[in-house]
Amino acid sequence: MITSIELGDFLSHSETKLEFGNGVTVFVGQNGAGKSSIIDAITFALFGQHTRKSNKGLIKRGANQGFAKVEFNINGKQYQAVRKIDNKGGLAAKFTEKINGEFLEIAAGERKQFGESMTHEVEKTIGLDFEKLKIASIVQQGELNAIIKAKPKEFKELLNAVIGIDKLDVASEAMKTINKNFREKIREDIGYDDTHIDILLRDLQKYKTELEDARPEKEQLKVKQTQLQKEITELRIKLETETPKIEKINQLELRKKELQSYAKEAIQEIQHEIAEKERKIRDCEGCFEHISLKKDLESKIEKIESAVEGSQKKIQELTGQVASLKEKQALAEKIQLKDNRCPVCDSKVEKLTPLFQEEHLKQEIVFLKEQMIAVEKECTMYSQKKIEFSQKLQNARDAEATLKAHSIKDQEDIRKIQEEIKLKKGIQKIPLSINGNLLEISQIDSHAKTIFENITKLEQEIKGFNEKEFLNLKESINEKQTDLSQVDQNLGAVTEKITKYEEQIELMQNAVSKLKVVKKYVLELDTIQMNIFSRDGPVATSLRSWALNTISTKSSEYLTLLNTKIQRISLSEKVRDISITCYSKNEMLDLESLSGGEQVSVALALRLGMASLLGASNLNLMILDEPTTHLDAERKKSLVDVLSQLSDITNVGKPMQFIIITHDSEIFEDSNVERIYKFESTEQGSKITVL
């Protein structure tokens, strides 16, 4: 039973605390006053669940955090459940029990990964989870008749929860766990459990059949393997004989390219050599003619130099004679005969000697000068000849130096060079195509000949080699090797399969033998589970039958009090669901044929009948949100009377507790309702007054 509810900044409630006692508590007020918020507060505090869209929507507008606290009594023990939420979505929760006047923590938070869950502890204490409590004890606005609209299977599940069939589920789950653990232990020890016997027997027969098929297949593969190995060995021997020829073919091509390359370089060298030799011949052309004149020219130059020297001496002599005569001429001008007398000795002289005759001296000087001119002309002529001969001599010396530079001694050397040029020109005309006449190319020099001999030798060594046949041989070996690999793979697979089958057959035979013993034991456990602990077994069926009869009887009593034409409700169990049948005095009534008010009456009667049965459960609570909707005034009054009567019913000293949310406050006038709270909406939030 709930004893109090406290809200702080929760939905429309700023600070609200409600006290509850036994019997009926009524909430009255207009829509939006915060009446239904109490339901969300109860379910949020207990289970962390509610009807709003999100947790943040639970916080009162403008507040940073909110909380809901519910205190309740069960079996003489007092408990408190508190949940808080902040505007960031952070949650805090604590579930406590009051011991010696102090609340001691049972659980906090929802750290399920650590085995900690407040909700789980609350569910164990109350005996119902959120969904079961919501269906059995909380009738939301407009959902009073949901119990008759629910699917039959859902109604059966609800009934199971109300009468505690779920406890059988716990025992059944325990039996399943025992069975599961036993099977897991068997699977751990054997590798199989009793559910695999038929599969093992089928597989065992399958393995035996496949084993018989695999053995001849293995022998066939071994024969084929041997034949392919033999064929491959023979082909490899042939391949080993022919393979070196491939390398020789490659070498042959390299040698041909080498010969061509060398020949090209050699011919370029020959062309350069021809050009050098032709230049040498051009340089030496006429050199021997120039050299043949050398001695004669040297002799002539020597004679000319001697003649020039004589002429120069004669010119010097004549020059001296002219100078002497000029001195004598000057003296002769001074010596003149006066009266045929000598001006020096004054002796009588008939005439002067020619040496003192001025005219004679003039003639002599003229004569000498003429001789000097003649000698000078002669000397000039000698000088010109000397230049001419010196030039020719230099040509001879240059020719001699040229021959020496080219190491030419005589005309025979020139002839030999010319013959070499002729021979080389013949070589440079050799075609250099790789497909050309290699023999002709080999005539270039000894190295070319050596290369050609290697080529000839390689051609002899690969004679008769057919590259296409060689490639076909390799391809044939590869194909057979592929076939052999496939055969080896198949043989390995078959061998492995045979070994596996033999091992599996032995394992399965042992497993089947042991599992037959296990199966007997498991069948005994299954029998216990089905007959005692199954929710569809005899025990559960008997409990449901008792509960259905009890609910049918109580619901019929409440219907009589509600003054409807329906006299009796009968609940009966079918294979997988619960059916609801209504009866008047004279006939059976279809639920669909009832009016809206009658359907609500049936639903309320069923709810109250179940609530009566719940009098022996833990929370002993029922919340009705607007239960009078669709009821006329008389039935509303009857509902109040029924609730008043029900609140006085005790079951093992435990009274039933009702919370009624309604607009119709007047129907509770003159009733024995213990407490009525009036809810009003204000700017500060919900305001609650005790009437």
CA atoms within 13 A on the CB side of 84: 8
- Asked whether this chain's domains 1-127+618-691 and 287-406 adopt the same fold, the reply is no
How far apart CA 657 and CA 646 sit, in angstroms, is 9
The tokens of 74 are what? 């069960």
Please name the amino acid found at residue 179.
N
Residue matched to tokens 């009866």: 583
**What are the φ and ψ backbone dihedral angles of 673, each rounded to 5 degrees?**
-60, 130
Nearest alpha carbon to residue 601 among 145, 136, 135, 137: 145
pLDDT above 70 as % of the chain: 87
Looking at residue 532, the DSSP 8-state letter turns out to be I
Q: Report pLDDT digits (tens) over 346-374.
A: 666 556 566 666 778 788 888 888 888 98
In this prediction, residue 411 carries a pLDDT of 86
* Cβ partners under 8 Å of residue 426, min gap 6: none
- Spatial distance between the Cα atoms of 252 and 227, rounded to a whole number of angstroms: 38
| CATH topology classification for 1-127+618-691 | Rossmann fold (3.40.50)
Question: Residue 187 and residue 518: Cα distance in Å, rounded?
Answer: 11
Structure tokens at 321: 């004679």
Q: Hey, what are 621's tokens?
A: 């609570």
152 neighbors 544 (Cβ within 8 angstroms): no
Burial of 371 (0-12, 13-18, 19+ CB in 10 A): middle
- The DSSP output letter for 106 is E
- Cβ neighbors of 13 (< 8 A, separation 6 or more) are 7, 34, 37, 41, 60, 685, 686
Beta bridge partners of 294: none
Report the topology of domain 287-406.
Helix Hairpins (1.10.287)
Cβ atoms of 625 and 141 closer than 8 Å: yes
Q: Which residues of the chain have pLDDT under 70?
A: 111-115, 135-136, 141-147, 149-150, 152, 161-162, 164, 166, 335-357, 428-436, 562-563, 575-576, 597, 612, 614-617, 630, 642-655
Q: Compute the residue count for the chain.
A: 691
Give the C-alpha separation, 460 to 598, whole Å.
120
Question: What is the phi/psi pair of residue 354, to 5°?
Answer: -55, -25
Burial zone of 671 (CB within 10 Å; 0-12 exposed, 13-18 middle, 19+ buried): middle
Whole-angstrom distance, CA of residue 158 vs CA of residue 611: 12
Residue the block writes with tokens 């592929």: 482
Domain layout of the chain by residue ranges: 1-127+618-691, 287-406
Q: Is the pTM of this model over 0.85?
A: no
Question: Which residues have a Cβ under 8 Å from the Cβ of 571 and sit 6 or more positions away?
Answer: 548, 551, 552, 555, 578, 579, 580, 581
- 270 near 388, Cβ under 8 Å? no
- What is the CB neighbour count within 10 angstroms for residue 661? 23
Q: Exposed, middle or buried: residue 639 (CB in 10 Å: 0-12, 13-18, 19+)?
A: buried
Distance of alpha carbon 324 from alpha carbon 342, whole angstroms: 22
Structure tokens at 415: 């002839």
Q: Distances in Å between the alpha carbon of 601 and those of 60, 568, 634, 651? A: 37, 12, 12, 24
146-192 pLDDT, tens digit each: 667 667 677 777 777 667 676 777 777 788 888 888 888 888 888 88
Query: Which one-letter amino acid corresponds to residue 429?
Result: K
Q: Give the separation between CA 462 and CA 452, rounded to whole angstroms.
A: 15
Calculate Rg over the CA atoms of the chain. 72
Tokens linked to 312: 């120069």
List the structure tokens of 26: 């009524």
The tokens describing 608, both together, are: 């109250």
Q: What burial class does residue 690 get, using C-beta atoms within 10 Å of its C-beta: 0-12 exposed, 13-18 middle, 19+ buried? A: exposed
Query: Which residues pair with residue 107 across a beta bridge?
Result: 95
Q: Tokens standing for 458?
A: 């390689």
Which class for 526: exposed (0-12), middle (13-18), buried (19 or more C-beta within 10 A)?
middle
Q: Which residues of 16-43 are buried (b: 16+ CB within 10 A; e: fewer)?
A: bebebebbbbbbbbeeebbbbbbbbbbb
Q: Between the CA of residue 167 and those of 44, 446, 533, 611, 654, what are the distances in Å?
A: 25, 113, 9, 19, 21
